[in-house]
Amino acid sequence: MRWQTIGNEEKKAVVHEEVKRMNKLPANSIYATHRLRVLNKIL
């Protein structure tokens, strides 16, 4: 519900924060690799 009420810039900021969080995980993490792929598609 909250996701629909925020603007595009705020959504991009949230996605960028998640990308930063995923970049802190180990490079060989399958979870992090997949999650980054999905986040990049969102952007």
For the segment 1-10, what is each residue's pLDDT rounded down to a tens digit? Answer: 566 777 888 8
Q: What is the pTM of this model?
A: 0.79
CA distance linking residue 10 with residue 3, whole number of Å: 10
The answer to whether the beta carbons of residues 24 and 30 sit under 8 Å apart is: no
Structural domain that includes position 10: 2-42
Mean pLDDT calculated for residue range 13-23: 95
The total number of structural domains that make up the chain: 1
Identity of the residue numbered 41: K
For residue 3, the model assigns a pLDDT of: 67
The predicted pLDDT at position 1 comes to 55
The three-state (H, E, C) secondary structure of the chain, written as one string: CHHHHCCHHHHHHHHHHHHHHHHCCCCCCHHHHHHHHHHHHHC
pLDDT (0 to 100) of residue 5: 77
> Tell me: the pLDDT tens digits for 19-36?
999 999 998 999 999 999
